[in-house]
């Protein structure tokens, strides 16, 4: 953690925005999870909504029921209690997410917007591999798929999971966003921006580097699939996603199951403590993959 002092800001008459850090780390994300989890469990009168983010969170409240000063005092108390993450247990799911890298649809979008990219002469994958020090795009894909990602927040558009890879800091992959945003991104595009991977829930604008496409949806407005019976959005903060590279044949098989309404994610319920991750991210990642595919 840095010497950054938490900022508590007013958003109109009904919102308090709390910035815990200017830098996203696993530790600060766990702290945001811990604070918002405790606040939600308290069921404090006047709290209308709680929105956790990567290194911050926002609370909507009713000022006629809960004075802002009283709420901020409680948030500061919760922040102090969350400095020690030893007693925090995160209820999670381990999830296999099948991704077709360099698919034809995303590739068409990549080539359509080369004038908005840092390196118009290369693809997004080639560019990302080069600036991260990998000898080939195949080696880069292996690094992306080799360790799982923590779903650190849901946002931008409904269902979009921001995911932070569980690897030692020196192995974190980072890529800049496009120089100028695109006006088109394919639905289910697997993208990367800064230190975060994403799956775009729907077709739309975007600025993250585009590497491939997820065969499985993260958003189901009609709630036709088994995994969406309780919510139109599949990802949850605290989930652990393993992005697994697949062939075009497997992609087509998954899409057929989705269209038939029978697709269900390969997943397992899982609980962990932040300290399990922070002390040994590489060991934790190895354990997670073993649990997901073999236990």
- Which tokens hold the place of 132? 């991260």
Residues 45 and 26 in one domain: yes
pLDDT score of 2: 54
Residues 178 and 50 in one domain: no
pLDDT score of 1: 47
Distance CA(111)–CA(186), nearest Å, equals: 13
Residues 51 and 21 in one domain: yes
pLDDT score of 33: 92
Model-level pTM?
0.92
Residues 20 and 77 in one domain: yes
pLDDT digits (tens, 9 = 90+) for 99-120: 999 999 999 999 999 999 999 9
Distance CA(253)–CA(98), nearest Å, equals: 11
Residues 105 and 55 in one domain: no
Q: In this structure, are residues 31 and 39 in contact, taking their beta carbons and an 8 Å threshold?
A: no
Total tally of structural domains belonging to the chain? 2
Distance CA(163)–CA(191), nearest Å, equals: 10
Residues 186 and 55 in one domain: no
pLDDT score of 81: 86
| Secondary structure, 3-state, the chain | CCCCCCEEEEECCCEEEEECCCCCCHHHHHHHHHHHHHHHHHCCCCEEEEEECCCEEEEEECCCCCCHHHHHHHHHHHHHHCCCCCCCCEEEEEEEEEEEECCHHHHHHHHHCHHHCCCCCCCHHHHHHHHCCCCCHHHHHHHHHHCCEEEEEECCCCCCEEEEECCCHHHCCCECCCCCCEEEECCCEEEEEECEEEECCCCEEECCEEEEEECCCCECCCCCCHHHCCCCECCCCCCEEEEEECCHHHHHHHHHHHHHCCCCCCEEEEEECHHHHHHCHHHHHHHHHHHHHCC
Q: Which of 86, 109, 125 is the last residue of a domain?
A: 86
What is the extent of the structural domain holding 56?
A: 7-86
Q: What is the CATH number of the domain that holds 21?
A: 3.30.1360.40
Residues 75 and 135 in one domain: no
pLDDT score of 92: 95
Residues 56 and 128 in one domain: no
pLDDT score of 155: 87
Residues 100 and 184 in one domain: yes
pLDDT digits (tens, 9 = 90+) for 240-289: 999 999 999 999 999 999 999 999 999 999 999 999 999 999 999 999 99
Low-confidence ranges of the chain (pLDDT < 70): 1-3, 295
């Amino acid at each position: 953690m840095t010497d950054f002092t938490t900022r508590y800001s007013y958003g109109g008459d009904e919102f308090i925005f709390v910035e815990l850090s200017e830098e996203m780390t696993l530790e600060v994300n766990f702290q945001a999870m811990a604070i918002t989890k405790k606040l939600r469990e308290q069921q404090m009168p006047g709290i209308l909504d709680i929105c956790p983010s990567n290194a911050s969170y926002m609370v909507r409240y009713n000022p006629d029921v809960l004075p802002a000063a009283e709420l901020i005092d409680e948030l500061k108390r919760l922040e102090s209690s969350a400095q020690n993450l030893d007693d925090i247990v995160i209820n999670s799911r381990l999830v296999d997410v099948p991704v077709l890298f360099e698919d034809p649809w995303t590739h068409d979008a990549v080539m359509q917007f080369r004038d908005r990219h840092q390196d118009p002469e290369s693809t997004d994958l080639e560019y990302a591999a080069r600036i991260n020090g990998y000898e080939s795009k195949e080696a880069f894909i292996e690094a992306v798929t080799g360790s799982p990602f923590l779903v650190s927040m849901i946002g931008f558009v409904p269902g979009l999971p921001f995911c932070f890879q569980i690897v030692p800091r020196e192995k974190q992959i980072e890529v800049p966003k496009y120089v100028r945003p695109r006006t088109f991104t394919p639905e289910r595009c697997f993208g990367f921006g800064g230190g975060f991977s994403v799956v775009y829930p729907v077709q739309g604008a975007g600025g993250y580097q585009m590497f491939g496409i997820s065969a499985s949806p993260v958003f189901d407005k009609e709630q036709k699939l088994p995994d969406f019976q309780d919510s139109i959005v599949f990802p949850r903060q605290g989930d652990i996603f393993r992005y697994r590279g697949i062939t075009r044949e497997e992609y087509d098989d998954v899409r057929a199951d989705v269209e038939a309404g029978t697709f269900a994610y390969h997943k397992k319920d899982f609980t962990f403590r932040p300290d399990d991750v922070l002390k040994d991210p590489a060991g934790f990642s190895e354990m997670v993959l073993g649990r997901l595919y073999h236990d």
